[in-house]
Amino acid sequence: MNLIQIYKRFPTQQDCVKHLELVRWNDKPKCPYCQSENQTPLKNTHRYHCNNCNTSYSVTVGTIFHKTKCDLQKWFLAITLVLNAKKGISSRQLARDIEVTKDTAWFMLMRIRKAFKEYGELLEGIIEVDETYVGGKNKNRHNDKKTQGGQGRGGEDKTSVFGMLQRNGKVKAGKVKDVTRKTLQTEIRANVKKGSTIMSDEFRSYNGLCLLYGHQIVTHSMGEYVNGAAHTNTLEGFWSLLKRGVIGQFHYVTHEHLNKYIDEFCFRYNNRDNKDIFNLTLQKAVA
């Protein structure tokens, strides 16, 4: 759904609450503290009194919307803006779009990204793997990834990010502490089904994958980018989207928050064909 559709579909706080109650409880309010469904609605508010544990609660307790002063309508619009922004949206831009302060927008984006975290099943089939670097300096990259004039700001080195992408399927990515064979292959074993076929470049950390997987290599250092079905172009396309987002929109993504940005990009990519990605996000937001 686009912004106008969301705006029209949920014109008031009341509409948003009703919708969240449907998504979270299938319309049967359930105490988030004791799980009892024995409740009495409180008058003139969206809260319920739990007759079992004597607390009161609303549908937002324990969700990303909990204890925020912002109207749910603005949250719904913010989610829509993030979902529709292929290269991400900066907190400055979001602040202007939904008329909140920059700090509020930043806080909302962080909360929304929390909902994007995916705990999916194993990848299988043909899997492209690759590592990339965000921020910092060139010196620790393996040779074919060094770029001309690629020095980042500050004295810190770049953060290593590792990704695995199933062709015509999902991508999983996140920062890694280093790009040693041990680290990368531990990630692969934890996320890719045995017997799948891995496509990688010639980086030595991928040596030995053939013990558990089919393994095909493109030799980037020799100028080779496609060798039959062996290439990592799909994942590189994802990296370039991520990097344009990080560089263009966020100016400076701290090491600490990088994984949340990556989760956002993975979520959009993984649900690119999902017609109801808005409600999927709400489900994850109240889960």
Binding site for Zn ion (CB under 5 A): 31, 33-34, 36, 50, 52-53
Q: How far is the CB of 55 from Zn ion (least distance, A)?
A: 6
Q: Which is nearer to Zn ion, 21 or 128 (CB)?
A: 21
CA distance 59 to 65: 9
- Of 259, 70, 81, the C-alpha closest to 162 is 259
Cβ closest to Zn ion, residue 25 vs residue 33: 33
Between 13 and 40, CB nearer to Zn ion: 40
- Contact yes or no for 163/130 (Cβ under 8 A): yes
Select 53 or 287, whichever has its Cβ closest to Zn ion. Answer: 53
- Please give the Cα distance from 162 to 183 (Å, whole number): 10
Least CB distance to Zn ion at residue 88 (A): 39
Complex with Zn ion: residue 14 or 35, whichever CB lies closer = 35
Nearest CA to 239 out of 154, 128, 150 is that of 128
Q: Measured from the CB of residue 33, what is the shortest distance to Zn ion in angstroms?
A: 5
d(CA 51, CA 67): 23
User: What is the nearest approach in angstroms of Zn ion to the Cβ of residue 62?
Assistant: 12
- Cα–Cα nearest to 234, from 144, 143, 146, 166: 166
Of the pair 57, 238, the CB lying nearest Zn ion is at: 57
Do residues 48 and 29 make contact, with C-beta atoms less than 8 angstroms apart?
Answer: yes
- Least separation in angstroms between residue 50's CB and Zn ion is 3
CA distance linking residue 248 with residue 254, whole number of Å: 14
- End-to-end CA, the chain: 21
- Least Å from the CB of residue 14 to Zn ion: 24
Closer of 39 and 196 to Zn ion (Cβ)? 39
CB of 287 to Zn ion, least distance (A): 19
What secondary structure letter does DSSP report for 236? H
Residue 215 is encoded by which pair of tokens? 């393994």
Pairing status of strand 171-175 against strand 197-201: unpaired
